Structure 1
Amino acid sequence: MTRIALGVQYIGTAWNGYQKQPSRDTVQDKLEIALEKFACTPLHTTCAGRTDAGVHAIEQVVHFDTELQRPAQSWVRGTNAFLPESIVVRWAHALAPAPEMQEFHARFSARSRTYHYVLYNHPNPSALLAGRAGWVFRPLDVERMREAAAHLIGTHDFTSFRASGCQANSPVKDMQEIRIERHGDVIVFTVRASAFLHHMVRNIMGSLIYVGTGRNRPEWMAEVLDARSRDAAAPTFMPDGLYLAKIDYDPKWGLPQEPAHPLPWL
């Protein structure tokens, strides 16, 4: 039995999130259908992190176990032949069959996750960025948002940014980085943490926008965090500009991962 890891990229606009649903209109459904058509046998995938409806992935990592022996590029090209154009396998990597290598797990072996949120800040929406970026028509103050984001760095209880239906065992996460960069009318938010709660990034985005528009002080972010109540934070922001960008693993696994460019469609 060999464990195969895949790097999967997708535009989530047309899909009902990553995780399989009875409707069979999710990324996992389409990926497993394609794998079965190529391999001529059912293959179950495990992902590094589930994404919601409308959320994209620059590089999602999944794994599956199989007795088939095929070159890595065959897994890539063969699977892609049966996928819709909005879902693409970018790379495949066979982990050595030694027992210690079988310990690799797309989710549990991950050291951290990185998300980008791409935001279009302009009085009018952009047809070219529809579904690919969030939109705020009021001017945003990047420096105020950076000051607010600094309060979230470190290990904290992120209950205030947790969806009511979140199934995580603990709301305590290690926020390692929040970077905010403006490129003309586009603002890119890069968020890296040990793991994320359900809707955590989108809930943080909503609160940062409250600060960026001047509705609340940057210090308000610390008050929201300390409240440990979802009612203390801003509403959940739209999924359109959210990208699962990078999953960090120990180099010993030898995964051929790619740079997580925040604007893959430009």
Structure 2
Amino acid sequence: MSDEVEPGKVRVRLDLSYDGKDFSGWAKQREGQRTVQGELEDAIRTVTRSSETYELTVAGRTDAGVHARGQVAHVDLPAEVWAEHQDKLLRRLAGRLPHDVRVWKAEEAPAGFNARFSAVWRRYAYRVTDHHGGVDPLLRGHVLWHDWPLDVDAMNAAAEKLVGEHDFAAYCKKREGATTIRTLQQLSWVRDASGVITATVKADAFCHNMVRSLVGALLFVGDGHRPVDWPGKVLAAGVRDSAVHVVRPHGLTLEEVGYPADSELAARNREARNKRTLPADAGRYPHPGSSGCC
């Protein structure tokens, strides 16, 4: 599949962040649903005084209530529009966008760049506290309160069995025609001095509800309701387990998206569109082609 930018257009990379609390996710939906994509596309159309809405492509399509600190998107603008507005675009977007979404950088993307397909990893953080008094009121929109003491060492021990390339069907909401094979590069927990426990979850891509399902399973280990080997057994079973709780979205933040060197962008773009299989399942699954969240 070609990803050539149309003649007369410029691909612009946008680095942005948002508080997901009042959004129905990233992707545009039916009328009346407030989304990050909808707000950004409306703002770009307004500040460039365009009659056309220029569609955004994003690295990770976050769900309703999920936050982003290091989200990346791209938009293809007519060359004359970019030339006229590039120097003032950030300031004008800051004046037009609502306070819960900000664009921090807007620059011409290198050849072969695609915010979605060129990414080699996405890193999320999930924050939770088990403090008996609850969550700091100033953090309540970004930290989950878990009303049981949590054993971080036990959660890390259980997480080790989940790292690597696996079929994560047991931890994903199934979507017709989409693979659930992913390479989980990191899954670890750290408690800071304030008592907030942060899970770092890094993978090449994620399927729907994957991060929040993994977190839910590991919290059950941390509070003693399940043994350390339980999340690994759920993974090996390969089917959605009703005992795996999908935790609430407000504790989840997309922290960073990683890309290869500019010279490798086009190759990564092509590779990400190819079929992905496990050795025993050759030919069965199409590549996800996205980082549907989480």
TM-score by length of 1: 0.89
Q: Per the alignment, in what secondary structure is the counterpart of residue 139 of structure 2?
A: coil
The one-letter code sitting in structure 2 at the alignment partner of 1:93 is E
Q: Per the alignment, in what secondary structure is the counterpart of residue 122 of structure 1?
A: coil
Contact 1:161–1:230 (8 Å) recurs in 2: yes
Q: Report the equivalent of 2:146.
A: 136
Q: Report the equivalent of 1:8.
A: 16
Unaligned stretches of 5+ residues in structure 2: 1-8, 266-294
Structure 2 vs 1, CA of residues 144 and 81 (structure 1 numbering), >3 Å: closer, same or farther? Answer: same
2:96 is the alignment partner of 1:86: no
Distance 2:186 2:261 in 1: 21
Q: Report the equivalent of 1:58.
A: 69
The one-letter code sitting in structure 2 at the alignment partner of 1:13 is K
Q: Report the equivalent of 1:46.
A: 57
Unaligned stretches of 5+ residues in structure 1: 256-266
Structure 2 vs 1, CA of residues 156 and 206 (structure 1 numbering), >3 Å: closer, same or farther? Answer: same
Contact 1:8–1:60 (8 Å) recurs in 2: yes
Q: Report the equivalent of 2:167.
A: 157
The one-letter code sitting in structure 2 at the alignment partner of 1:44 is E
The one-letter code sitting in structure 2 at the alignment partner of 1:9 is S
Distance 1:73 1:48 in 2: 24
2:187 is the alignment partner of 1:178: yes
Q: Per the alignment, in what secondary structure is the counterpart of residue 96 of structure 2?
A: coil
Task: Mark the structure with the bigger radius of gyration.
Answer: 2
Structure 2 vs 1, CA of residues 137 and 3 (structure 1 numbering), >3 Å: closer, same or farther? Answer: same
Q: Per the alignment, in what secondary structure is the counterpart of residue 149 of structure 1?
A: helix
The one-letter code sitting in structure 2 at the alignment partner of 1:50 is R
| Identity fraction in percent | 36
Contact 2:48–2:85 (8 Å) recurs in 1: no
Instruction: Between 242-251 and 200-209, report the one with greater CA deviation.
Output: 242-251
Contact 1:160–1:232 (8 Å) recurs in 2: no
Distance 2:188 2:196 in 1: 14
Distance 1:24 1:150 in 2: 39
Structure 2 vs 1, CA of residues 121 and 72 (structure 1 numbering), >3 Å: closer, same or farther? Answer: farther
Contact 1:160–1:228 (8 Å) recurs in 2: yes
Structure 2 vs 1, CA of residues 56 and 168 (structure 1 numbering), >3 Å: closer, same or farther? Answer: farther
Pick from 244, 255, 266: which aligns with 2:254? Answer: 244
2:46 is the alignment partner of 1:32: no
Deviant stretches of 4+, over 4 Å: 70-73
Pick from 89, 114, 117: which aligns with 1:108? Answer: 117
Q: Provide the alpha-carbon RMSD of the alignment.
A: 1.8
**Per-residue deviation, 1:243:** 0.3
Q: Report the equivalent of 1:200.
A: 210
**Per-residue deviation, 1:132:** 1.2
